[in-house]
Amino acid sequence: MVEKKTNPTKAILYVSAWVIIWGTLGSFIDYPLYKNKIYLEGSIYQYLTFTITAIISIISAKFFYKKFEL
């Protein structure tokens, strides 16, 4: 059986891209909630927003990683 070698540079770029996607998505969700005073900056709900988007990003990254040949 031949092992598939992963290019470390591509893997680092892939993870970096998903961190940017996670931060952007979390911020797009967070901004209107914060501006409409649904919750305050630094509240547990803000942390929850970013945690949920992080979980979604991790699951998405794992799903798409199988589709790309890195």
Q: What is the pLDDT of residue 3?
A: 66
17 closest CA partner among 49, 51, 65, 55: 65
The H or E element that residue 15 is part of is helix 8-35
Query: For the chain, what is the domain count?
Result: 1
User: 4 lies in a domain?
Assistant: no
Q: What is the pLDDT along the chain (70 residues), one digit of tens a residue?
A: 566 677 888 889 999 999 999 999 999 999 999 999 998 888 999 999 999 999 999 999 999 988 877 6
Range of the domain at 60: 9-65
User: 1 lies in a domain?
Assistant: no
34 closest CA partner among 54, 57, 50: 50
The model's pTM is: 0.78
Q: Which residue has the tokens 């979390």?
A: 26
CA distance 28 to 58: 18
